[in-house]
Amino acid sequence: MKIVVLDGYTENPGDISWEPLEALGDVTVYDRTSYEESPLIAERIGDAEIAVINKTPISRATIDACPNLKAIAVLATGYNVADYEYAKEKGIPVMNVPVYGTDNVSQFAVSLMLEACSHIGFHSDSVHAGEWASNQDWCYWRFPMIEVSGKTAGIIGLGKIGVNTAKILNALNMKVIAFDTFQSEAGKAVAEYVDLDELLEKSDFIFLHCPLFPSTQGIINKDNIARMKDGVILINNSRGPLVVEQDLADALNSGKIACAAVDVVSTEPIKPDNVLLTAKNCIITPHISWATREARERIMQTTADNIRAFREGKPVNVVNK
């Protein structure tokens, strides 16, 4: 079985092994191919039976140009980079990794909140730049320091990651409220379900942990921002298009939102003219909530398990049944 990995560098920049895939067949790994439609994609797939992708797209044209392609494995949960509907028409299953990073995504979300409250990175940089050594006082801070204990955190989207984040916030002595169209017993154990308006009005911190659907796209917009507390802090390490970025930038620049800490933006990699780059008090990290070694090893193993199950005629984690 021929397996081609089209953009393997993000999954494995060299600190883990491709051995779980190599045990299944003849594997060719390209660090990078293209994030845009390109004839090179089909050229590199060639006569391979399995294409493994992260963000390299596989379009209708690519599928038609690769008649030996039997399955597509995605090294991620999101699978919209593949034309999965056309793949279904051609009898090609698209398999993803549905769960791999619950703990580290929650860890990162809370880290973003704590950075927004304590500005540890900024102050460390200032010390290394000599500001403490030349300071006339024994200590200093350049931003207000915020204590989270006793504050209210609102979570939009109380699935597995949202529940896990809520557990951490509870341990920090925060009151946790949540909005989700589906209410679970696991959610009720860690948060109080409220409607969206109440969450917006009562939260000192708002976490986005919801998937990107038509109903959630742009859920953070000027109208919903107007319903928020003055000085609220927004954390988003879910999906960039949940936020209308111009509306968020306006709210940051006016002070309505005191700080935003985001790991995702509307177009990735971020465009040089993204309005959040010049907005006040906006922490931006390059979509790395998922990227611990432990999580990437789980992605690798699940992808290998997906391919093995397909080879055995019992495919799993198929998103286009």
Active-site residues: which are they?
239, 268, 287
Supply φ then ψ for residue 235, to 5 degrees. -125, 125
Q: Residue 164 burial (CB < 10 Å; 0-12/13-18/19+)? A: buried
Q: What is the largest CA-CA distance in the chain?
A: 72
> How far apart (Å, rounded) are the C-alpha atoms in residues 129 and 247?
34
Q: How many residues does the chain have?
A: 321
Q: Cα Rg for the chain, rounded, in angstroms?
A: 22
- Among the listed residues 108, 122, 68, 119, the one whose alpha carbon sits nearest the alpha carbon of residue 90: 68
> How far apart (Å, rounded) are the C-alpha atoms in residues 319 and 301?
18
Structure tokens at 241: 């298009």
> How far apart (Å, rounded) are the C-alpha atoms in residues 173 and 158?
19
- Among the listed residues 64, 182, 181, 170, the one whose alpha carbon sits nearest the alpha carbon of residue 110: 170
